[in-house]
Structure 1
């Protein structure tokens, strides 16, 4: 039966639209692989023949298997499984390096804590030390009493003739600790009385403790017996020796007071030094009477 023109036109149009040059092309890309591994799938309803892409192209077989969703799922699954098998495996369990890091962090924390504690304690100690410096113990020489004075000719231990002097005296010293939070341990160097460059008498003060905000008066015996003066005592005289007017002898009293305070136990210690120098005049006619030294002494720290 002869085909109609309309049928021929329809067939021609259908064939043209289903030509391999106009077939829709789809790409399915695996999440793991790049675009070079894309799977190209073609759908075709043309007559059997060679595919422009694959030389041996079976339209029926390609349509049946390649365009099947199950086939696509299996193939993608196989590719993903193959890729996942190649991925490195990571272990998140505890390891020796983690333990070392933990011990290192703990040691770092302990070190910083010790350093911070030492720094704070040092700062606190410095504050206490600085505050204690404003509470210096006070020292005042109140008076001296010369109980005996004797000058006579004699010889020293080698037999050299010279004037010999003997002095017996007592010195009263007042101490005061103004500190409100620590006591002091007080002592001194030997108290010495000099005539010119000669030491004619000396005495020792016993060490004692002075509690906070307290006062104390200490009496020290300063004496010298048969002290040779050699040529330095040629100008000295004594009423007992020549029967003349009472003798007047210029002397000098000197010593250094040392005070030690424990502000924070044995960890923070403070030391104070007071140098005392007093000009004293021995009057033979006032033996046994106190001579006030309130304005006759100089006090220096250090």
Structure 2
């Protein structure tokens, strides 16, 4: 008859049975502490517990689950980075801890140089190119506008007042005095096809023996392109002392014909591209003229009577 074994019997027989529970050697493992990064390695070593039975050994399934759970708990906790700041780890849908993804592709500014400097260079090159192109364009326009000189033709000179007699200058010296008023007419033509001109003149002088006996000034005006205009200038001389030239002038006046010379300069200025591109011309005009004091008719000039320089 079989007798049931009591708990005391099982306990007493378990150590004595070599086939069921062989005696395993006791072992331990030293591993570095996970909480220490910059301390002494020898002080951070920790000892694992001693396992005396298969249930407690690492090969048992329960130990694997326990170790994975403890490892996961360690990963899911907070840890301290190398810079001393704490970061939190999160788990994904599969239970693995998430970590930041390293971005391998970034800016290539360090490889290809300073992009800001290159942009400034490009802007400077573009500005210089624009200035160069505009300069070439302006030079072409200026060259095309050079042939368009204002055409001047002196038409007539009308004497309104002519008086020659004795007098005294401001210092009281007695000498021959001349008073002369006359009006000069001339025609101005602007041949330019794409710009107008501003016309002005130097003082218009009527000269006798290198002495100015009358003078006037053309008032500045604007003349459109491809247009004609007739302008007039009033010349006046009041009580002009002739001094040494008075003797020869008296001889000429006694015959009724006094030789004079008309001299002035016409200036024309055209703005081709605003005030950036402009063209200027000067025409020096000299006309000999003989005034007949016995006649009161305007003196007309022929086409070749004057020189235009």
Instruction: Give me the whole-angstrom Cα distance separating, in 2, the residues matched to 1:121 and 1:92.
Output: 44
The alignment's TM-score, normalised by the length of structure 2, stands at 0.63
State the Cα distance separating 1:194 from its structure 2 match: 0.6
Q: Does 1:151 align with 2:164?
A: yes
Bigger shift: residues 148-157 or 91-100: 91-100
Q: Secondary structure at the match of 2:249?
A: coil
**Structure-2 change in CA distance of 1:193 and 1:293 (3 Å):** farther
Q: 1:261 aligns with which of 255, 260, 270?
A: 270
The answer (yes or no) to whether the contact 1:173–1:217 under 8 Å persists in 2 is yes
1:149 shift after superposition: 1.5
Counterpart mapping for 1:29-108 below 5 A: 93-94=106-107, 97-98=110-111, 100-108=113-121
Check whether the contact 1:237–1:247 (CA below 8 A) recurs between aligned residues. no
Contact 1:143–1:293 under 8 Å retained in 2: no
**Residue 282 of structure 1 pairs with residue 291 of structure 2:** yes
1:248 has 2:257 as partner: yes
User: What SS class does the counterpart of residue 93 from structure 1 fall into?
Assistant: coil
* Large movers: runs of 4+ above 6 Å: none
Whole-angstrom CA distance in 1 between matches of 2:114 and 2:296 = 86
Contact 1:176 1:216 in 2 (8 A): yes
Residue in 1 that maps onto 2:194: 181
Q: Contact 1:144–1:293 at 8 Å: present in 2 too?
A: no
Query: 1: CA distance between counterparts of 2:179 and 2:135?
Result: 54
| In 2: Cα distance, 1:283 partner to 1:267 partner | 49
State the 1:238 CA deviation: 7.9
Deviation at 1:113, TM superposition (A): 1.3
1:135-150 matches, cutoff 5 A: 135-150=148-163
Could you tell me how far apart the structure 2 residues matched to 1:102 and 1:180 are?
49
What are the equivalent positions in structure 2 for 1:177-256 lying under 5 Å apart? 177-237=190-250, 246-256=255-265
TM-superposed CA distance for 1:95, in Å, is 5.3
Q: How many positions carry a matched residue from both structures?
A: 207
- In the superposition, the TM-score normalised over structure 1's length comes to 0.64
**Offset of residue 205 of structure 1:** 1.0
Please list the CA deviations of residues 149-186 of structure 1 after superposition, one character each: whole Å capped at 9, or x if unmatched. 21101111101010001111110011000111000000
The answer to whether the 8 A contact 1:279-1:297 is kept is: yes
Aligned-pair CA distance for 1:140:
1.1
In structure 2, runs of 5+ residues without a counterpart are: 1-103
- 2:201 & 2:273 partners in 1: Cα distance? 23
CA distance in 2, matches of 1:289, 1:184: 29
- Secondary structure of 1:150's partner? strand
Pick aligned residue for 1:170 from 161, 178, 183: 183
Structure 1: stretches of 5+ with no match in the other structure? 1-90
3-state secondary structure, aligned to 2:294? helix
Higher fraction of helix: 1
CA separation in 1, counterparts of 2:120 and 2:147?
42
Alpha-carbon offset, residue 102 of structure 1: 2.1
